[in-house]
Amino acid sequence: MTILSVENVSKSFPTAGEPLDVLRDVSLELAGGQSMAIVGPSGSGKSTLLQILGTLDRPDDGSVKLDGEDPFVLDDTQLAHWRNQRVGFIFQDHHLLPQLSVIENVLVPSLAVGRASADHIARATELLQAVGLSQRTGHLPSELSGGERERVAIARALLMRPALVLADEPTGNLDRRTAESVTAVLQTLQKENDAILICVTHSGALAAAMDQRQELVDGRLVAG
C-alpha cells in the first residue's frame, strides 16, 4: 500500500522585511485510500503546501516521500516524469485546454509519455463513464457546465493511476448540489483507485466528506 510521508516541511518566502514563514514543521502521513482536507484562512499556506506535496515547489527543510522515495533528489526532467506518473492535480478553474475535446483533455497526461496508447484511450473512456460524461466525450470544454468541466478535470487527474491526488478547491466555483455530486464522484474514484486524496478547501461540506481534517494555523497543521 502506498504511503505518503511528510516530515517537518518548512517554507519561507522573502519579503521586503522579515521572511514570511508560511509553513513550519508540517508533518503528515496518509496511506492509499485515505483522504484529508486541509482548511485554513486565506493566506495560511494551503496552496503552498499543496504545491510542495505535488513537487511543483521545493521545501526549504523537511522531506516528502511517497513509498519511501524522495522525489526531490530527481533532476527536473526525471521529476516531471515522476510527477506525471504519481500525482494527479485538480484545480478550481479546471485548467482544461479549450481547443481539445473532453476525451483529448483527459488524455493529456498520457501525451507526456508519447502518444496515447489503446490502454490510455480505454482508461479515459472508462473514467468519463464513471464521471457521467460518456455522452460528451467529443464536446469542447466551452460546451460543458462548470460541474461537468470539473468532472473532466477529475477524470484527467486519475488517468495515469496516480498514487496521490491533490485538489485545490475542486468545488469552489460550484453551487451546493453540483458541489455535492462532484465530491461524490471524486471520492468514489479515489477509493476505487486506492489513491491518497488531499483537498485544500474553504468548503465545510467538502472538508466533512474527507476521512481527516487538518487546519493550517500559523504555518502548522492542527487537527481540524
Ligand X SMILES: Nc1ncnc2c1ncn2[C@@H]1O[C@H](COP(=O)(O)OP(=O)(O)OP(=O)(O)O)[C@@H](O)[C@H]1O
Interior angle at CA 219, CA 66 and CA 21, nearest 5: 105
Binding string, residues 6-35; x marks residues near ligand X by CB under 6 A:
-------x------x-x-------------
Q: Which of 222, 166, 177, 154 is nearest to 199 (CA)?
A: 166
CB of 37 to ligand X, least distance (A): 13
Show contacts with ligand X in window 42-81 (CB under 6 A). 42-48
Q: Are strands 196-200 and 164-168 parallel, antiparallel or unpaired?
A: parallel
Q: Where are the beta strands (DSSP E) in the chain?
A: 3-13, 20-31, 35-39, 61-66, 87-91, 164-168, 196-200, 212-217, 220-223
Binding segment (CB under 6 A) for ligand X, from list 40-48, 75-83, 109-117, 179-187: 40-48
- Asked if 189 and 126 touch (Cβ cutoff 8 Å), the reply is no
Closest approach of ligand X to the CB of residue 8, in Å:
18
Least distance to ligand X from the beta carbon of 14, Å? 7
Q: Which of residues 118-177 bind ligand X (CB under 6 A)?
A: none
Interacting residues toward ligand X by CB under 6 A: 13, 20, 22, 40, 42-48
